[in-house]
A and B are shown apart, each in its own frame.
Chain A
Amino acid sequence: MRWFPSLAAAAAVAIGLSAASEPEKPAAAPGSQPAAPVVVSQKNKVFNPELLVIKQGDSVLFRNDDPVTHNVFSRTEGSLFNLKMQQPGQEDVVTFQLPGEVTVRCAIHPSMKLTIQVEEE
């Protein structure tokens, strides 16, 4: 697993909030620049983008840009996750380890539909 802290994560630390789980540090190659997670916004009860193509091992940052709570989850086998209640402004990072198509939904707002295609590295 790879973990790359984002600018937003740094901001969270700056205001004194700690992450819910300790991120696993990557064994980055000397001199290599870690890739930032791809950002998926939740705005007006829609995912933006609604289709995302990433590489195996890439991370996605789910950001709630709405004034309402969201609950992003996936029941795709091998890529199960549940971000639970995401308050306005909250961000969560998920790393996708297995190749394939991942179906992502908001448990509150079924009109929010996101497909992530995870390509083999």
Chain B
Amino acid sequence: MNRATRTAGLGGLLGAIALAAFGAQAVEPPLRERAQAFVRPQGIPHPADNAGSGARIELGRTLFFDPRLSASGTVSCGTCHNPAFDWGDGLALGVGHGMKQLERRTPTILNLAWGEAFFWDGRATSLEEQALGPIQAQGEMNMPLEKLVEKLGSIAEYAPLFEAAYPGESISARTVAKALAAFERTVVSGEAPFDRWVEGDEHALDAAALRGFDLFTGKAQCATCHQGWRFTDDSFYDIGIEGNDLGRGALLPDVEVTRHAFKTPTLRNVDRRAPYMHNGSEPDLEAVIALYDRGGRVKRPSLSPEIKPLGLSDDEKHDLLAFLRTLTSSTPPAALPMMPR
């Protein structure tokens, strides 16, 4: 057995002294310097055991939009992760098998190639692992894997697509998952006005949006969690929303901070993806900003210490909103594939 002993470190003591000496407001670096943390990456990362070839991506795209992957034959991955809704469904709560309402909102699948943990509670550690979850879930696509393989095998035009993508591997749950993951990695948000500003275009953001970026990375502390070009740290926080859903706490029941904690969502194309939060409780971005400004609505032991009242003025809330609206790209939605018969 291990023994843990807790102390307040010297660093914390020195930090407290520094704050007392220089005031509570930390001096933030200039906006251009802060922008460097938001530079888009070059290229899409694919794992070594599932390189993203054209054939794999095309097979994955076809499977993603094929409703025959569900028991009812009516629900595809793309039914809920609809590209016309920025890869979500625009609903407060998802709807699954038999039109039954689910317990959480459908998350967008934008930019998951860089993801660390998947689902709202992070229970999958790879896109390949994630892909088979909703297919099998009784409330979602309700399709047992053996039946899935049987069904796909009965559709003649699928066999050559699998052979081209994964030669010699046949149609299996494994190759279905790999193809879906390979396709999903290509779902990347397009260039937004904010990206053009990060690249040096001074006219890409207006004054309100720039003040909003200053708040986002400063006083409002949004970038503590919504960090980097994807605007997420792939981490889990209780942000003080009502409800009994334990979120990540169901996976780590002995770790209090994970109770009611859900993954930080990306903010890419965020103004097109209302309503918000894991349960769709916030109807618009104004409500989201108001929630954070008050430091969450539910104060419980698991509430993240990062969630605290912000003291934003109405003008500051307006500026934050102006900034968030610069994260939306104008990339047209993906074209639908022809279905194998």
Closest CB in chain B relative to A36 CB, distance in Å: 14
Q: Is A31 an interface residue (CB 8 A)?
A: no
Q: Does A110 lie within 8 Å of B7, measured CB to CB?
A: no
A-B CB contact pairs (8 Å), 12 listed = A11-B13, A21-B5, A24-B3, A67-B224, A80-B1, A80-B2, A85-B305, A90-B8, A91-B7, A92-B6, A93-B3, A110-B122
Instruction: Indicate whether A89 sits within 8 Å of B116 (C-beta atoms), given known contacts A107-B255, A111-B233.
Output: no
| A49 nearest CB across to chain B (Å) | 18
- B306 contacts the other chain (Cβ, under 8 Å)? yes
* Residues on the A chain within 8 Å of B7, using CB: 8-9, 11-12, 17, 19, 90-93
How many A-B residue pairs have C-beta atoms within 8 angstroms? Tell me: 132
A48 within 8 A of B: no
Taking CB atoms, residues of chain A closer than 8 Å to B11 are 63, 65, 88-89
Please state if A108 and B257 are interface contacts (CB–CB under 8 Å): yes
Contact A107 B1 (CB under 8 A): no
Contact between chains at A82 and B305 (CB < 8 Å): no
Question: CA–CA, A17 to B8, complex, Å?
Answer: 7
Given contact pairs A73-B255, A85-B256, A87-B12, enumerate 4 new A-B contacts (beta carbons under 8 Å): A71-B255, A82-B255, A84-B255, A109-B233
Q: Are B3 and A68 in contact (CB under 8 A)?
A: no
Q: Which residues of A contact B156 (CB under 8 A)?
A: none
Give me the interface of A with B, judged by CB distance under 8 Å: 1, 3, 7-9, 11-12, 15, 17, 19-21, 23-24, 45, 63-65, 67-69, 71, 73, 79-85, 87-97, 107-111
Instruction: Pick the most buried of A63, A67, A68, A71: most chain B CB atoms within 10 A of its CB.
Output: A68
- Taking CB atoms and an 8 Å cut-off, the chain B residues in 1-38 that contact chain A are 1-13, 15
- Which residue from A11, A20, A45 sits with its C-beta under 8 Å from B9? A11
Residues of A near B233 (CB, < 8 A) are: 45, 109, 111
Contact A21 B13 (CB under 8 A): no
B304 contacts A by Cβ under 8 Å = yes
- Which among A12, A64, A69, A96 has the greatest number of chain B C-beta atoms within 10 A? A12
> Which of B4, B10, B235, B254 is the one whose CB lies under 8 Å from A11?
B10
- What is the bound-complex CA distance between A111 and B5, given in angstroms? 25
Please, which residues of chain B bring their CB within 8 A of the CB of A11? 7, 9-10, 13
Cross-interface CB contact of B6 among A91, A95, A97, cutoff 8 Å:
A91
- Dominant secondary structure of chain A at its interface with chain B: loop
Residues of chain B lying within 8 A (CB to CB) of residue A96: 2
Chain A residues with CB under 8 Å of B258's CB are 71, 107-108
Which residues from chain B contact A1 at a C-beta distance below 8 Å? 3
Q: Which of B3, B12, B236 contacts A95 (CB 8 A)?
A: B3
- A94 and B4 in contact, given A11-B9, A71-B257, A73-B255 (Cβ under 8 angstroms): yes
Which of B2, B116, B305 touches A81 (beta carbons < 8 Å)? B2
B235 touches A111 (CB 8 A): yes
Structural contact, B6 and A20, CB atoms closer than 8 A: yes
Within the assembled complex, what's the spacing in Å between the Cα atoms of A12 and B13? 9
A90 contact from B6, B116, B237, Cβ within 8 A: B6
Report B-chain residues with C-beta under 8 Å of the C-beta of A7. 10
B2/A97 in contact, CB under 8 A: yes
Looking across the interface, which residue of chain B has its beta carbon closest to that of A96? B2
- Do the beta carbons of B116 and A20 come within 8 Å of each other? no
In the complex, what residues of A have CB within 8 A of residue B237's CB? 108
